[in-house]
Amino acid sequence: MTALRNIRLVWLGLTAGLMALTLWMIFLWVPTEINQGNIQRSLYFHVPVAWTAMIAILLIAVASVAYLKTRDEKWDRLAVAGAETGIIFAALMLITGMVWAKPVWGVWWTGEAKLTTTLILFFIYVAYLMFRAYFPPGEQRRRLAAIIGVMGAVDTPIIYYGAQLWERAHPAAVVGPLSESDSSVDGPIGLTLMVATLTFSALFVYVASERYRLRKQEDEVTALRRTISLLPPRSASSTDVTSGVPVGGA
């Protein structure tokens, strides 16, 4: 337990250091983009949190498949931890996107496919967590939640390919296999984006692992309560076991 605690502290320190470096690079080191100005710095927040939100739903899908195959509750806990953390990054993805869109596009939101599928991803997280909260606990809840998690991951490739399939206001992919030489980022902008993505990925791993640990403790407490509730009630005895004196006095 001490070793795991030390690992958590080291990872927390590493994440905090990366976050400090990222903020310095975003606001002090990387040059201001010529066309969009300072609002372009939203790129270094929007893309990393979007990446993390999509990685989170893939983690949920992998953990859900593992649970369906093994019925091991650790995979179910991992899926829940991924969902509870991923929904935060999905919300940040929408917020940072709208903050960036307003000065550049003149509107907070458009109905293009990439943005719509991104909003659908957020609602998938909401639906998954609401199902977990309101469906009766047990094997059936875990199994159905796993199915929802697997189905939800289908939205991830649609989001990535959205700008290429239905190109409108949203730019084409700047990273990944679909990025082209004229759309990819390099130099200080590319380096800052890479460091920011690494930072938010490390933050996701830390928060999700902490949520997994807390979820495990919650399950242990629930199991202990269930065990206590199943214990037979203590019957009244004619002798006080503490003092050895018969009930009612000598």
Domains of the chain: 10-30+40-174+184-228 (1.20.120)
What pLDDT digit, counting tens, does each position of 169-181 carry?
565 555 555 555 5
Higher pLDDT, 67 or 168: 67
As a whole number, mean pLDDT of residues 103-115 equals: 83
**Helix (H), strand (E), coil (C) string for the chain:** CHHHHHHHHHHHHHHHHHHHHHHHHHHHHCCCECCCEHHHHHHHHHHHHHHHHHHHHHHHHHHHHHHHHHCCHHHHHHHHHHHHHHHHHHHHHHHHHHHHHHHHHCCCCCCCHHHHHHHHHHHHHHHHHHHHHHCCCCHHHHHHHHHHHHHHCCHHHHHHHHHHHCCCCCCCCCCCCCCCCCCCCCHHHHHHHHHHHHHHHHHHHHHHHHHHHHHHHHHHHHHHHHHHHHCCCCCCCCECCCCCCECCCC
What pLDDT digit, counting tens, does each position of 22-73 carry?
999 999 999 988 888 899 999 999 999 999 999 999 999 999 999 999 999 9
pTM over 0.85: no
Question: Amino acid letter at 94?
Answer: L
Band (249; pLDDT cuts 50, 70, 90):
very low
Q: What is the pLDDT of residue 172?
A: 58
As a whole number, mean pLDDT of residues 207-230 equals: 86
